[in-house]
Structure 1
Amino acid sequence: MDVIKDQIINKSIELFTQIGVKVVTMDMISKDLCMSKKTLYEHFSGKEDLIKNTFSKCISTTIQDLENKIKNCPNIIQQKFIILEDNNYFIFLKENQTLFQLKNFYPDIYIEMITLQNNLLKSLIKNNIILGIEEGLYRPKINKKLTVEYFYLFEKIIAIDDNLSKVHLNDNLVKKYFIELLIRSIATKKGIKELEKYVSKN
């Protein structure tokens, strides 16, 4: 574990968020860390390399947190709710000033980070579907590839579409309702029984 590299990345995300990806310079980062620019360049070849590593680390960390959260779920149905309910784990599904600057000034890095996050998210959804089929909770003949895209699209809509909040229910109720509908569309009788048990308790 490279402690200095982690310090640089942590400081960078702090400055990128507070000041902006475009405005922050290598000089500012080294000054804030009381670190020489030489040390900075020993760990990163330049600002673009630092940006890429910083956002990549953010994505990897959030996905790892989510994986740890779902690891001890009693069943696949509950795991699916956890994956889809909290879209705070997926920073590149939201819109904010930091990502706006990244998209406009470093479009190649932005696309690379979107792709990384999408692949990791889709991998979690795919694993859940495979395990659900193995446990008899999801129908075995569903098209796995299309189902992954189907669930991913839902996650994306929930993250960016403000219109869902206009149904006069709080955001959590809206999410739970749509997740329940999605799971019902692929669940077996056994899966629906587990789903209804989970919904009644939550």
Structure 2
Amino acid sequence: MKDKIVQKSVDLFLKFGFKSVTMDDIANEMGISKKTIYQHFQNKTKLVEATALTILDNISCGIDEICTLDKNPIEEIYEIKRFVMHNLKDEKSSPQYQLQKYYPKIYASLKSKQFVKMLGCVTENLERGVAQKLYRDSIDINFVARLYFNGIISLKDQDIFPRENFSTPMLMNNYLEYHLRGICSPKGLETLTQLHTNQN
């Protein structure tokens, strides 16, 4: 039952946001009593924490699977973006922003886990891109990997990018192109152009 509660909470929190969904909402959706939820989770904060960690684990596993496919590094970045967007339901409810605002301790813990995961993944992508001559060999990989992570995090900040003006897909597409055009070699730019041509 505990896993079922978490899975239903994942769906509801991603759809409506961590703040908006109540314990009553989850109980009603599942057709169980609120008391049943409290048997497994002391309070909503504990449930939010378990749910947020589950979302991170699901996305981390999916990213690991994509990385084993051995795509070229530019295609890999776009494939990861598609996977993350699909799993976060395009973030219409901005769950990460709500998490930061209403559950700052959980957000800080999650961000630190996310940083470790992303830093490893992006560093490996950059190293392969340089080795395949798709990225410039003069880039500082450690610097670019950290800058990339910081940029992704800042896209979630609605004070900087209000959702009424910047949709999540538009932000992600623009950011990826900005990132890649900054590090691609002439060969990489050809690959990027070809990728965009095939998508249109």
Range into which the TM-score falls when normalised by the shorter chain: 0.5 to 0.7
2:56 to 53, 59, 67: 59
Equivalent residue letter for 1:150:
L
Q: Do residues 197 (structure 1) and 194 (structure 2) align?
A: yes
Superposition deviation, residue 74 in structure 1 = 3.3
**CA deviations over 1:16-51 (Å, ceiling 9, x no partner):** 56595587349x74994647957964x556543332
CA contact (8 A) 1:63 1:89 kept: no
Residues 101, 162 of structure 1: alpha-carbon distance in 2 compared, 3 angstrom cutoff = closer
1:24 to 22, 25, 43: 22
Q: Which residue of 2 aligns with 1:116?
A: 113
Aligned residues: 193
TM-score normalised by the chain length of structure 2: 0.66
Superposition deviation, residue 10 in structure 1 = 1.5
| Partner Cα separation in structure 2 for residue 196 and residue 98 of structure 1 | 33
Q: Do residues 11 (structure 1) and 8 (structure 2) align?
A: yes
TM-score normalised by the chain length of structure 1: 0.65
Superposition deviation, residue 190 in structure 1 = 3.4
Residues 10, 173 of structure 1: alpha-carbon distance in 2 compared, 3 angstrom cutoff = closer
Superposition deviation, residue 111 in structure 1 = 1.9
Identity %: 19
Residues 83, 152 of structure 1: alpha-carbon distance in 2 compared, 3 angstrom cutoff = farther
Larger Rg: 1
Equivalent residue letter for 2:108:
I
Q: Which residue of 1 aligns with 2:79?
A: 82
CA contact (8 A) 1:122 1:149 kept: yes
2:135 to 135, 138, 142: 138
| Partner Cα separation in structure 2 for residue 32 and residue 173 of structure 1 | 34
| Partner Cα separation in structure 2 for residue 174 and residue 105 of structure 1 | 23
Residues 86, 162 of structure 1: alpha-carbon distance in 2 compared, 3 angstrom cutoff = farther
What residue ranges of structure 1 are gaps of 5+ in the alignment?
Answer: none
Equivalent residue letter for 1:128:
N
Bigger Cα displacement from structure 2, 4-13 vs 61-70: 61-70
Alignment of 1:135-174 (within 5 A): 135-160=132-157, 161-162=161-162
Q: Name the Cα RMSD after superposition.
A: 4.3
**CA deviations over 1:107-134 (Å, ceiling 9, x no partner):** 2112222333343333322221122123
SS in 2 for 1:137: coil
Superposition deviation, residue 6 in structure 1 = 1.6
Residues 200, 21 of structure 1: alpha-carbon distance in 2 compared, 3 angstrom cutoff = closer
CA contact (8 A) 1:87 1:155 kept: no
CA contact (8 A) 1:30 1:40 kept: no
Alignment of 1:179-190 (within 5 A): 179-190=176-187
